[in-house]
């Protein structure tokens, strides 16, 4: 069975997503270096990093990441909306992958429980 991560990797981005992403990256070029770096680190990959991961990647504090994002929202609201829309798409893919992992784990856990009940009842494992 394919997991959500496999599907996310195999599904090509839509043309509108690609065009929107290219426009976003172009818009980030006009920002001050700190804000551009934080925004780019948030949307650069497909993995949707957390704010502490962005801070560690850039070698700055988490509070500094929040400050750059606040300044981005205040001074460049149209770019901030585009960054958060891209981030929402990334987090959506991440959530779907997490749900797929959870479903696979749950199925495996219930199978193990059923095997244990079988062993407790019949004194042997189902595959014996």
* Long-range Cβ contacts of 113-117 (<8 Å, 24+ apart): none
pTM: 0.60
**Which tokens go with 26?**
């172009």
Taking phi first (over 0 means left), then psi (-120 to 50 degrees means alpha), and beta for anything else, what does residue 74 get?
alpha
Confidence of residue 20 (pLDDT cuts 50, 70, 90): low
Residues in the chain: 128
Checking if the pLDDT of 35 tops 50, the result is: yes
């Amino acid at each position: 069975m394919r997991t959500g991560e496999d599907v996310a990797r195999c599904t090509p981005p839509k043309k509108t997503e690609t065009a929107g992403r290219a426009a976003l990256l172009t818009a980030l070029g006009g920002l001050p270096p700190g804000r551009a770096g934080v925004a780019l680190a948030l949307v650069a990959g497909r993995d949707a990093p957390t704010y502490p991961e962005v801070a560690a990647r850039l070698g700055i504090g988490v509070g500094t990441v929040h400050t750059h994002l606040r300044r981005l929202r205040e001074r460049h609201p149209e770019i901030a909306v585009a960054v958060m829309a891209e981030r929402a798409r990334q987090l959506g893919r991440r959530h779907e992958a997490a749900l797929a992992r959870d479903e696979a784990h749950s199925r495996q856990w219930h199978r193990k429980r059923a095997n244990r009940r079988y062993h407790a009842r019949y004194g042997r494992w189902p595959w014996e």
